[in-house]
């Protein structure tokens, strides 16, 4: 793929794009969040956890209005990957998508 792509205010080099269609493109992440101990291997397992913690999802203000807790960055200290690493991942994903 040739050219440069825009993603909001960010310029994405073509080497970091692994899929391009008429209406969208797929790009690799600069700071991906990797799976870690405690993540759910089976997606259905998360529903029990959500049910157990539903009362913690919303707080009530004095006037009875429900507010969601503020969202934060999972880990602001994650290091950005090199352009070379991202280009390698994009090439690998491109091949996988072409095979399917």
Task: Note the pLDDT tens digit of each residue in 9-37.
Answer: 989 999 999 999 999 999 999 988 776 66
Distance between CA atoms of residues 6 and 78, nearest Å:
23
Strand pairing partners for 52? none
Averaged pLDDT, 80-91: 94
Distance between CA atoms of residues 16 and 1, nearest Å:
10
Q: Is residue 92 part of a domain?
A: yes
Domain that holds residue 8: 4-69+80-99
CB burial class (10 A; 0-12, 13-18, 19+) of residue 91?
middle
Averaged pLDDT, 56-63: 61
Number of domains in the chain: 1
List the alpha helices (DSSP H) in the chain.
Answer: 46-53, 83-99
Q: Is residue 74 part of a domain?
A: no
Q: Is residue 55 part of a domain?
A: yes
Q: Which residue has the tokens 């157990």?
A: 52
Lowest mean pLDDT of 20-24, 59-63, 89-93, 95-99, name the range. 59-63
Predicted confidence (pLDDT) per residue in 61-81, tens digit: 666 666 666 666 666 777 889
Q: Is residue 56 part of a domain?
A: yes
State the DSSP H helix or E strand holding residue 80, giving kind and residue range, or none if neither. none
């Amino acid at each position: 793929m040739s050219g440069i792509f825009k993603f909001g205010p960010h310029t994405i080099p073509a080497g970091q794009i692994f899929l391009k269609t008429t209406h969208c493109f797929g790009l690799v992440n600069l700071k991906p969040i990797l799976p870690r101990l405690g993540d759910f291997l089976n997606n259905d397992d998360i529903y029990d956890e959500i049910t157990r913690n539903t009362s913690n999802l919303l707080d009530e203000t004095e006037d009875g209005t429900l507010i969601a807790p503020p969202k934060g960055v999972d880990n602001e200290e994650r290091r950005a990957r090199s352009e070379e690493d991202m280009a390698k991942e994009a090439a690998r994903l491109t091949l996988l998508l072409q095979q399917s």
